[in-house]
Chain A
Amino acid sequence: MKALQIIKYGEIKDSLSFNEVSKPTVQANDVLIEVKAAAINPIDKSIILGNLQGMLPIPLPSTSAYDVSGIVIETGNEVSNFEIGDLVYSRVPQEQMGTLAEFVAVTSEAVSKKPGNISFEEAASLPLTGLTALQSLEYAGIKENDKVLIHAGSGGVGSFAIQYAKAKGAYVYTTTSTSNLEWVKELGADRIIDYKTEDYKSIVKDVDIVFDTLGQSYSLESFEVVKTGGIVVSVVGPLDVASAKMFGMADYKLPAELAKASSEKNAEYKFIFMHPNGAHLNEIKSLVEDEKIKPIIDKVYPFSDSIEAFTHLASGRAKGKIVIKIS
């Protein structure tokens, strides 16, 4: 089968190649998906550039990407919740990475039926960003009437998080740039802050949850706007102790300033690692079918133009997800 593979680390154009590889075989708990569409995310670009070699060592060549939608064409012996012909979507686990291919084998626990009211391309755009937003906001215990700050409302995770938080009945503040104000407004955020003309710290006060999708100074600044006893969840800031432990860093300590800010506000700092989860994707399916959440797509590329799609991703100018139509 045809697959887009990472053949070395470095510049996108030099590091990706269409290769003929063998079709994956299914393990007892796997389903084999005939890929209709795949989506690419910033992490895919970071892997190609070699920025994640320490954290995510992958053997080269490896097929790229994690997000997929398609049709189940084979099931492992122990799979009971899917049948051949099911239309599904998934964020495949690390060890099964490789959705930019004609087929991918995925553990059934990471798979869900796709929402019935959207196309394969739209469904492929949802898993990674959707799971990241859902798991972060659910860890934070989001509930009706909570005040939530979501940074970077026009990003993949941010745009999903706004819609998810609104579906949960929260009051949503979000930041974005002037050029994105209009379409971010349509996602339903209550107060959109144009970071080019407004200082979010003078507008946002005492929120229950800050969802940090930017990292760097934003992680620390979150404690200026979170309420006493609130929570800051981050997907890009410094690791917290629990997640550092997962990486074998036993004596890791939170950066001193962050620890101090967190303790002064009696507000928790939590780093979230998105984990593949079919049950969570099933929740997202219901929200999409009820039109609480809409997929936001910047552009759909044919499989043959995948490398161009990565170049577009790397430009950072996409307004929504970049999807690749495989078949």
Chain B
Amino acid sequence: MEDLINKIKKRLHLRPEAEEFLYSISKEKTLSKGEVLIRQGQIVKKTFFVISGCLRSYCIDKNGKEHTLLFAIKDWWISDYIAIHTNELATLTVECLIESQVIEFNAKELDGIHSRFPEFESYQRHNLERHVVSLQKRILNQLQLSAAERYDLFLKQYPDIEQHTRNFHIASYLGITQQSLSRIRVEKVKK
């Protein structure tokens, strides 16, 4: 938590009472591999900041197959934001891929922090902008890049992730089959 607080302090003047409030709406957790934090179909009240480890959010289509939306590694946030902001049930499942440390926040309280402490407004807007940028990039990459190009970008974005994830997690993030992923890897080695 201290690490996150220090990061926030770099961006704004954090009053002691705001710091105290952050502590009051959060809880550090150690998660084991396979633990599920959010489950498709359930109400979502939490959002998670990753201190260490790796988590994955995915949806399950009507045939029962998983499609990975994102991996969250150190310093990333993860939750089902559709569920949080529209009060709908979760369309995503969030699971822990390796032993991980996270800070769990009450999402509504964290969202509303700027009404108590206005200094958070620009900080939150900045975070939101970064999130929108990353989502927009992900959509555009999916629309216009080849699978091999998307894989290259993926490796740049998540340099060490292959140690923590299964092939099918990566293939389902890139929207390709595992065979295609293997082919792309073989081609990369040849280059």
Contacts and interface: CB of A to CB of B under 8 A. Distances in A.
Contacts of B58: 116
Nearest to A70: B64
B63 interface: yes
Interface in B147-180: 166-168, 171-172, 178-179
A117 interface: yes
A137 B39 CA distance: 36
B39 A117 contact: no
Given A289-B166, A289-B168, A85 B39 contact: yes
A69 B39 contact: no
A85 B41 contact: yes
A118 B39 contact: no
B166 A114 contact: no
A289 B56 CA distance: 16
Contacts of A85: 39-42
A123 interface: yes
Contact of A291 (B40, B42, B178): B178
Interface string B41-84: 11000000000000000101001111000000000000000000
A188 to B, nearest CB: 14
B41 A119 contact: no
Interface in A235-277: none
B42 A120 contact: no
Nearest to A124: B64
A102 interface: no
- The listed residue with most B CB atoms (<10 A of its CB), out of A114, A116, A119, A291, is A116
Interface string A105-121: 00000000010111111
A210 interface: no
Interface string A67-88: 0010000000000000111010
Contacts of B36: 83
A123 B64 contact: yes
A114 B166 CA distance: 15
Nearest to B93: A85
Given A87-B60, A123-B64, A290-B166, A117 B172 contact: yes
A166 interface: no
A36 B64 contact: yes
A118 B66 CA distance: 8
Nearest to B181: A291
A203 to B, nearest CB: 31
Interface string A210-222: 0000000000000
Contact of B167 (A87, A118, A120, A291): A291
A119 B171 CA distance: 15
B63 A120 contact: yes
Interface in A143-179: none
Nearest to A83: B39
Contact of B64 (A84, A114, A289, A291): A114
A121 B96 CA distance: 26
Nearest to B61: A119
- The listed residue with most A CB atoms (<10 A of its CB), out of B65, B167, B172, B178, is B65
A87 B65 CA distance: 10
Given A116-B66, A289-B168, 6 more contacts: A69-B64, A85-B40, A85-B41, A85-B42, A116-B58, A116-B172
Interface of A: 36, 69, 83-85, 87, 114, 116-121, 123, 289-291
List the 6 closest pairs (A to B, CB-CB), nearest first: A116-B66, A120-B64, A119-B63, A117-B168, A85-B41, A85-B39
18 contacts: A83-B39, A84-B41, A85-B40, A85-B41, A114-B64, A116-B58, A116-B60, A116-B168, A116-B172, A117-B168, A117-B171, A117-B172, A119-B63, A119-B64, A120-B63, A289-B168, A291-B167, A291-B168
